[in-house]
Structures are given as structure tokens and as C-alpha cells.
Amino acid sequence: MLDPRGISMLVKTTAASLGFDACGIAKARHLSEDEKRLEDWLHKGMNGKMHYMENYFDLRVDPTKLLPGARSVITLLFNYFPEVKQENQAQKISKYAYGADYHDVIRKKLNSFLAQLKAKVGDFAGRGFVDSAPVLERAWALQSGLGWVGKNGNLLTKTQGSFFFIATLVTDLDITADAPYALDLCGTCTKCIDACPTQAILPEKIINGSKCISYFTIELKDALIPGEMKDKFDHWMFGCDTCQDVCPWNRFSRPHNHAELAPIAAILQLDEKGWDELTEEQFKIIFKDSPIKRSKFSGIKRNLQFLKDESAD
């Protein structure tokens, strides 16, 4: 029978063997400070039309309501920084969407993670999440010692920047926890705030989600993008990396070596004419395993038309 420290070591070696780039552990508890911040953020309407963020509020701030008897929260980081960048800068795509849908990639790894742990420590209750459930991933990453939350709202690490997917595993195992990350290494830097094309990044690490380019190009399902956003998209067609691209800590970003995230050729190669002539049938074939399919063909065409109208002025 492994003790809590032994389980901690097993958790981290297993995570590394599955290709995760970092692993941290926190004690499951009610996130009272984050609860207040989230409540205020929602009351101010900064979620825009992302009404799903108002659902399951109590589950978001208390892992014991996601998993009765929860004792530990494991946070895993998975690097997605690409070695090769998109050539076409007229219709830019966020780097996280270059390859296969990370939900599918990481969900498989979480299932393997759980199976391997159970084989070595015996049966236990555990639930894995990757950007698909009411979990405050960045708060748990901070609590587990993996990094700090930057002014742009992203988790930042001292050695590799912020281009990571975050996965969370809530379990009833008693595991020795890591110390929370105690430093805020953003200092007086405001590069992300200054560079945001839509001024979505506010002081005190508050992000107005209803003004973020990623919100308009992915989450917003309206037929048209609001006219007041015209000339502010800086050619972003799906998502936006501006605040990460200008962050000084991302000079330490290193290309990932995850074959599952190999870029889809069309994303790197399609030019303005290629996107314009893309048919719905081609879209479904090319992006069937891509997160870009979230916007659907109609959403991508809407985004492309918005950028075309901008450039026509």
C-alpha cells in the first residue's frame, strides 16, 4: 500500500510517461476567493452570450461537488507550441488549433492515466476534465504550484511560457500536495494589455470575455459580428494569440514533440484564395478532427467575410 507521498511520485512519473509536460497536486477544497471573482465577473456580464458559464456555479468552485469525497486535484500541462507557424497572415488561426482537437487527444490520455493509476494503487474514484466541465483549471494549476496567472488571464510558467493545454483530474485519493505558486512574475509589464486589439484585458487580471477576439470568432453564434468590432481583429480568423505572442515569458516557449498535435497541412498552407474557395464538403473533410469544426462552416465563412470587409475599407 502506497502512502500519500508514494502516490504523489507515482502520479508524476505516470504523467511524464504519457507525455504530459508538467504535473502538480493540490488538496481539494472550496475556492472561496475564486468564487467571489467569478461571481463578480458574471454579474458584470463579461461572459457575453456564453451563458453556459453561468451554469453549475457551485461545481466550479468546489471539487467535492463534482466528485463526492474528493481529496486531491491533479493538474496536468500539455505543450502545444508549434515548431512551424502558419504562413498565411491574412486569416490567422490560434496555434492551439493547428492540429487535432485537444479535447480528444487529452481525454484519451486522461483515461490511460486513470487506468494506470488504478492498476498500481487499487480502485478509487476519479474524474478527468479538459476544458469541458465546470472546473477552474488555472486556479488549480496555481494551487498545485505549476505557475501563476498572468495579466492576460493565462497560466504562465517560468520555464516555458503559456502555450499549454490544462487538464484536471479530481480524485478521492489522499496525495501529498505541492505548495501553491507564491510569486507573480508579471511585475509592472503591461505588454499584453497594451497589445490587445479589442482592449479586452483589464487591470487586476480581469478579462472581458465579451470583447475577446476568440469570443467573437469561436463562441459567438450570431450570424454577424458586431459592427463596432470592425478594424480591430488584426486578421484573426479563429481565436487570437496576440496577448501570448507579446508576453516576454513566451520567449522560453519550446516546440512540442506530440505527434498527435502535428499541424493539419491545410492550416499551414491555405492562402486567402484557398480559404475563400473552400467548400462545405472540403471543410468537413479537412477539419473533421480539428477544433476549428467548433465554429462550423457557416461560422468560418462569417469570420472570413468580416475580415474581407475590414480589408476592403
- Distance from C-alpha of 267 to C-alpha of 70, rounded to nearest angstrom: 41
Instruction: State the DSSP code for 161.
Output: B
Q: Sign of the C-alpha dihedral, residues 29, 30, 36, 42?
A: positive
Buried b (16+ CB within 10 A) or exposed e, 224-247: ebeeebeebbbebbbbbbbbbebb
Number of neighbouring beta carbons within 10 Å of residue 5:
10
Of 34, 131, 174, 234, the active-site residue reads: 131
Does 131 participate in catalysis according to the annotation? Answer: yes
Cell numbers for 148, please give them. Answer: 501563476
Q: Dihedral sign, CA of 212, 214, 215, 216? A: positive
The strand ranges marked E within the chain are 22-27, 72-79, 92-93, 126-129, 148-149, 155-156, 164-171, 201-202, 206-207, 236-238
Query: 73 and 26 in contact (C-beta within 8 Å)?
Result: yes
To 10 degrees, the CA torsion angle through 4, 6, 10, 12?
70
**Which sequence positions are flagged as catalytic?**
131
